[in-house]
Copies of this chain bind each other. A is one copy, B any other.
Amino acid sequence: MPNGYNGRILRVDLSAGSVQTEEYPDHFYRQYFGGEGFISYFLLKECKAGIEPLGPDNKLIFAAGPLTGAPAGGCGRHSVGGKSPLTGGYGEADSGGYWGAELKMAGFDAIIVEGKAEKPVYLSIQDGKAELKDARNLWGMKALECQEAIRGELGDKNIKVAYIGPGGENMVRFAAVMNDLDAAAGRTGMGAVMGSKKLKAIAVRGHQRVGIADAAAFKDIAKWIADNTPITNKGMHDFGTARVVAALNPAGGLPTRNFQLGSIDGANKIDGQAMLDTIFVKRRACYACPVQCKREVKVDKPYKVDPRYGGPEYETIAAMGSDCGITDLPAIAKGNELANAYGLDTISCGATIAFAMECFENGLLKNKDTGGVELRFGNADAMLKMVEQIALRQGFGNTLAEGTARASRKIGPASEPYAMHIKGQELPMHEPRLKQGMGVGYAISPTGADHCHNIHDTVYTNVGPMLEALYPLGILEPMAANDLSAAKIRLVKYYTEFIHFLNCAVCCYFVMSLSLVGLERITQLVRAVTGWDTTFFELLKVGERSANLARIFNLREGFTVKDDTMPKRFFAPHPSGPLKVALDPKAFEQGKQLYYQMMGWPNGIPTPGRLGELGIEWAASQLPSK
C-alpha cells in the first residue's frame, strides 16, 4: 500500500458481532484519500437511498487520512460520518485530539460500522487486533467515567477513546462523537447514529509508526510548521479560537440573540483576553500540534467546571454565549463542560437554545411548555438547565433534542422565522450578512449550514499575505467580504474545495491554512508522506471529488436546489449595531447560480461529464432519474 496508509480498513458488523479487515487497491487511496473522501465514497456506494439515519441500515464511518499520525502539526484529526439524523442527508464531522493518530498507529486507516448491537458494546482495537466488548456497564456514563472505565478494563491508561455520552445514547439529533474529553466530531449528529447502534465507544492503542516515504523532507516541513505556525498564528496560540470575538464584535459579526444582532454589550467579558485573565489554566494541543489553540479552564463558583473537559472554543462561546444573549464566561465554560461530558455539539445545542429563547421572548413558548424554565436571552442558568435536559431528553429538552428544525415544526409555524437552520442543521457562529461568501457556502454545503465544508473565514482578510497565498490559484485581486460577484464565488469554490481536501486529509484548518503553511508546502508534505508525485491540482480535485460524492448522496435522498436555502432573517440588516448590510436576495441567488455553473452542476446536479472528469463515473448511476 502507499506510504502514509496502513492499507487496512476495518469493517464491523454490530448485528453479527463480527469484525473483518479489508484491503483496497493503491489507487483507491490516491483517489479518495481518507477522511471525508472515504466517508462520501462508502456512504454513496454502500448505503441504500431512503434509509433511516437512526436505524441499522445506516453506516457510521471513522476515517483518518495519510497524514494522520505523522508527527507534524495539524495531522492529528479524524472524521466521523454517516447519514445525518439532523438533515437526512450527508453527515460528517471531524475531530482533533489524539484518537485519529492512535487509530493509525493501531493499524487501521478507517472503520466502517454497520448494523446495530442488541446490547451496548464497545470496540477495542489494539495493534491491529479488533474486538467487540460488552459495554452494558458503560451505558449511561458521561465522558470522563467512560474513558476511565475503558482504560481500567483494558489496563492501559494511554488508550485513546472515541465515545458517546448520554446525549448520543439518547439519540439527541445533534449528539457528537467525542474523544479525549475535549474533542468533538460535533456536527450532523453522528453521536446519535452511534447511539442508535448501541456502540458506546471505540478504544484504540497502537505502536505502528505511520510510514513516511521521504523522512528527511517530512522532517524539514514538520520543523518548519513547528517553528513558524505558533508565531504566524500567534493570536490562536495566545488566545485560542476565542481570539476572534474581539474582531467580530465590532464588525457586527458576532451572532447575538439568535442572529438577531451581530454584536453584544459585554463582548469583552467573553473574548480571548477575558479568558486569559479569568478562567484560563493552560494551553492544550492536539497530536503533534505547535499552535495549541485548545484551552484548559477552571471555574469554582458559581459553577464547578472540571478542567479535564477543556475550555470553550469560539463556536461554543458564541453559540452558548452571545447567541443566547449571555456574556457570562464561567457559565459558558460550564455549558461547554456539560456538552463535552454528555456528548453534544455545542453549536447546534447553543443555537437551538437560542432559537427557543426567541420563541419564549415572543410568547410562542410559555413557562408551562418549558417546565418553568424562563428561556430568556441572557439567562445563563436556563441555558445550562436546557443543555442537561437536552442530553437526557428530559422535559422541554426532549423537544429541543430534536434540533431547531423539528422543534420549530412542533412549536408551530409562527416559530419558523426564528429557526436558524439550513437543511435542518443549525448555523454555526459565522454571520452570513458579514461573511457572505460563507453564506453561499452554507446554502450549498452537503451538511447544511456548516463552516467545515465551506470557505474559511480568514479568507475574508484576503489582503497582504492572505491574498498572496491565493495567487497560485490565479486569484490576483482582493475582494470584500460582502462581495458575491463571480470573482468572489470563484474564491468560495476554490477555498471550499481546499477545505474538502483538508477534510479528506483530515488536517487542521488552523495549521494547514493557505496563509500559514501555504499550498506549496502542504503539497510537499503530502509528497513527503505518501511518496506520490502529487500537485495542488490533484489535491484540489480530491476535495472536489468528495464534494461531488456528498452532493450526489443528498440528491439521491431527494434534496434539490430548493433545499439550498438561507433563513429569511439574513436578508434584512441587523436592527442596530455596526454592520449595516445584509444578504441581497438577488445577489445571493446569483451567487448560488454562479457556484453551480462553476461546479458544472446545471440545476444543482453534477453532469456525467463532471463526474467523469473527477474519475467517478460510477457515481452517475446514483443520481435520481429525472
Binding site for B on A (CB under 8 A): 27, 30-31, 468, 471-477, 485-487, 489-490, 493, 519-520, 523, 532-538, 540-542, 593-598, 600, 602, 607-615, 617
Decide: A487 near B596, CB < 8 A? Known: A535-B472, A535-B537, A536-B536. no
| Cβ-defined contact, B473 with A537, below 8 A | yes
A-B pairs, top 9 by smallest CB distance, nearest first, are: A486-B612, A597-B609, A597-B607, A594-B609, A537-B537, A472-B535, A598-B613, A598-B609, A27-B476
**Residue on B with the closest CB to A597?**
B609
- Extra contacts, 11 of them, besides A486-B608, A594-B612, A597-B600 (Cβ < 8 A), are A471-B533, A472-B537, A474-B537, A474-B541, A486-B612, A487-B612, A520-B533, A594-B608, A598-B600, A598-B612, A602-B602
Collect the chain B residues with CB atoms within 8 Å of residue A471's CB.
30, 532-534, 538
List 21 contacting pairs A-B, 8 Å CB cutoff, sorted by A: A27-B476, A27-B477, A30-B474, A471-B532, A472-B535, A473-B538, A473-B541, A485-B612, A485-B617, A486-B609, A486-B613, A486-B617, A489-B612, A490-B612, A519-B535, A523-B535, A537-B537, A594-B612, A597-B607, A598-B600, A600-B600
Expressed in whole angstroms, the Cα–Cα distance for A129 and B617 within the complex equals 56
Q: How far is the CB of A474 from chain B (nearest CB, A)?
A: 5
Out of B487, B593, B595, which one reaches A615, CB within 8 Å? Answer: B487
Out of B487, B538, B617, which one reaches A472, CB within 8 Å? Answer: B538
Expressed in whole angstroms, the Cα–Cα distance for A442 and B181 within the complex equals 61
| Cβ-defined contact, A536 with B533, below 8 A | no
Q: How far is the CB of A520 from chain B (nearest CB, A)?
A: 7
Expressed in whole angstroms, the Cα–Cα distance for A597 and B536 within the complex equals 23
Q: How far is the CB of A531 from chain B (nearest CB, A)?
A: 11
**Residue on B with the closest CB to A606?**
B597
Collect the chain B residues with CB atoms within 8 Å of residue A596's CB.
609
Expressed in whole angstroms, the Cα–Cα distance for A473 and B538 within the complex equals 5
Collect the chain B residues with CB atoms within 8 Å of residue A614's CB.
474
**Residue on B with the closest CB to A533?**
B472
Expressed in whole angstroms, the Cα–Cα distance for A300 and B487 within the complex equals 62
**Residue on B with the closest CB to A541?**
B474
**Residue on B with the closest CB to A592?**
B609
Collect the chain B residues with CB atoms within 8 Å of residue A611's CB.
486
Expressed in whole angstroms, the Cα–Cα distance for A30 and B505 within the complex equals 30
Expressed in whole angstroms, the Cα–Cα distance for A489 and B474 within the complex equals 24
Collect the chain B residues with CB atoms within 8 Å of residue A519's CB.
535
Expressed in whole angstroms, the Cα–Cα distance for A600 and B486 within the complex equals 15
| Cβ-defined contact, B609 with A474, below 8 A | no
Collect the chain B residues with CB atoms within 8 Å of residue A493's CB.
613
Expressed in whole angstroms, the Cα–Cα distance for A535 and B610 within the complex equals 22
Decide: A31 near B472, CB < 8 A? Known: A609-B595, A615-B487. no
Expressed in whole angstroms, the Cα–Cα distance for A602 and B599 within the complex equals 12
**Residue on B with the closest CB to A612?**
B486
Expressed in whole angstroms, the Cα–Cα distance for A269 and B515 within the complex equals 61
